[in-house]
Chain A
Amino acid sequence: MVVLAIFVYWPIVESLRLSLNRVAPFGNAEIFVGLDQYTRLLTSGEFWNNVLVSIYFMLGTVPVGIGLAVVIALLLSYPVRRLSWAHRMLIFVPVVISSAVAGVLFRWLYNPVVGHINTWLGAFGIDGPNWLNTRTWALFAVTVAVVWRQLGFNVIIALAGLQQIDDSYYDAAKVDGAGTWDRIRYVTLPLLSPTLLFLVVINVIISFQAFGEIDILTMGGPGQATENLVYSVFVDGFVGTRFRGLASAQAFLLALLVMGVSFVQFRGFRSRVHYG
């Protein structure tokens, strides 16, 4: 209790206070500046770039990550008798990999000269780009790494959701003459919707918090092409000249953004989620 109070609740207040104050460039005097830092952020192009990166990043990771996970889970839900443990093992394994290690592994795969991705592309006669140093490819490259690290978790949740669906629904649909796709469309997906809602909410939060892969793969670059809000909080708060107030203000806006998006999802999905 005490730990939670000190390290979770008190910091919220402190965070708000920091975001309203600016530390003088020389010395440690804190100057109360009210909402100054917020207006500064909201009128700066850099801040909106970071917001956009966060949003692109969410749009890139969440639908693809969950779509892949549902397809794989559908395939895995077919009870093969032998070797199923091996398939599961190979597919679930990213769940234990840290963001730092994922970043390092992908940095090697993306290496423009001796990396495996460009070597494989070369085998097909394709000249792979310099993934991490090209503005257009860097965000895509980081997105792939984060989708990969999340995949094991998402498949496990989707599979558990599929296994909750009672067989009788499928039998009834079959009696009514529904084909495979009809059954997936009208039986599986609606009955899976509570699980999908959970996956969407969790993945959106995770995508907004992506940090390790970005730090290791691109450090927010090239330029600021992959600098999302969390990375910007880190840069402003901890690298070089420190602007803790500015960083806190961004953290606050980020938190509001995450909570706002989650709230909209709950409201928007509530009418469409079917509880079996």
Chain B
Amino acid sequence: MTAIEADLATMSTQESTSTPPAETSGRGEFPLHLVLFTIGIIVSTPIIVAIFTSFTSLNRILADPNSIWSAPWTFENYVSAWTATPFGRFMINSFIQTGIITIAQVTFSILAGFAFAIFRFPGRNILFGIVLGSLMVPFELTFIPNFILISNLGWANTYQGLTIPFLASAFGVFMLRQFFMALPRDLYEAAKIDGASDWYYLWRIMVPLSKGAISALTIFSFLGAWNQYLWPLVITNEESMRTAQIGIRFFMANQERAFDWGAIMAGATIVMLPTLLVFLVAQKQLVKGIAMSGLKG
């Protein structure tokens, strides 16, 4: 595309002449491919090692760690992880917790973002300032009082306790407000003249037009909720209410004494599987969303 990129290619091929990218042949790209592929493999090594380990029998893992790279493969680690600890229960807990948080954050963000973008009501700027300000409050400042509050309400070890503090997302409200504001106001006025209600306009016109931003927010919320660690760790102490992330922590602590790394890696693979699937399916929206929020910041 540009000179610098051509130069990068030159750098990596160690050639002294710069090749215009437009004319680059597949052969000229090969060294760059090699460099990028090597970096990619190094970066994903921890995940690759975990997945291969999870399919290798424990005896072979402990005899020679490198045996994970060759057959025979086996499912026995998954069976022993699944039977040794209620992973099914942890996954269901995580899905319920993540589902509630994601749906609530996206819905609230759409409604509040719409209100802040379209309606002119007294105190709007003050309210929006309060929403924005909460983005700057560090999490560690709030979590002890929140813990005490939730415990006093008797919500420790419940889905309410896991989800209620996270039902609204200031980031989501801000993101969607910015997006809704970018749509022309004439569109709103025109819809009004045609007799559309605000409700109709929001769900039938604005939301479909903002599909990209809303799906990015949905992915963020999902990943954020699924990967939560500190809060579920302190708010649950019964095994039956643990989320997948907390489950794998205690599972590892127990199995490590038995050196059962095969089962631990099987557990880790189960826990990261949903997020890996989201990554495979929605890589584009996720990357676009992150890039968008970075450029705004």
Contacts and interface: CB of A to CB of B under 8 A. Distances in A.
A26 interface: no
Instruction: Determine the main DSSP class of B at the interface with A.
Output: helix
Interface residues of B, number: 92
A99 B275 CA distance: 13
B46 A258 contact: no
A237 interface: yes
B192 interface: no
B229 interface: yes
Contacts of B272: 96-98, 101
A47 B272 CA distance: 35
A252 to B, nearest CB: 7
B294 A161 contact: yes
Given A4-B130, A233-B144, A164 B295 contact: yes
Q: Among the interface residues A87, A119, A171, A199, which one has the most CB atoms of the partner chain B within 10 A? A: A87
Contacts of A92: 279, 283, 287
B43 A148 contact: yes
B46 A105 contact: yes
A167 B22 CA distance: 14
Contact of B26 (A82, A105, A151, A255): A82
B49 A109 contact: yes
Contacts of A134: none
B83 interface: no
A234 B229 CA distance: 12
Contact of B41 (A5, A11, A90, A148): A90
Nearest to B291: A160
B160 interface: no
A215 B249 contact: yes
B32 A15 contact: no
Interface stretch (A37-45, A55-63, A70-78, A135-143): A70-78
B79 interface: no
A53 interface: no
Contacts of B145: 10-11, 14-15, 18, 248
A216 interface: yes
Nearest to B247: A100
A251 B144 contact: yes
A79 B33 CA distance: 11
A195 B4 contact: no
Contacts of B39: 72, 75, 87, 90-91
27 contacts: A1-B131, A7-B142, A15-B144, A75-B8, A78-B21, A81-B29, A83-B33, A83-B37, A87-B33, A87-B37, A90-B41, A93-B43, A96-B279, A98-B227, A100-B245, A100-B249, A104-B249, A104-B264, A104-B268, A106-B46, A107-B252, A114-B261, A115-B65, A160-B291, A188-B4, A212-B245, A215-B249
Interface of A: 1, 3-12, 14-15, 18, 72, 74-83, 86-109, 111, 114-116, 119, 148, 151-153, 156-157, 159-161, 164, 167, 170-171, 173-174, 180, 183-184, 187-188, 195, 198-199, 202, 205, 209, 211-212, 215-216, 229-230, 233-234, 237-238, 244, 247-248, 251-252, 254-255, 258-259
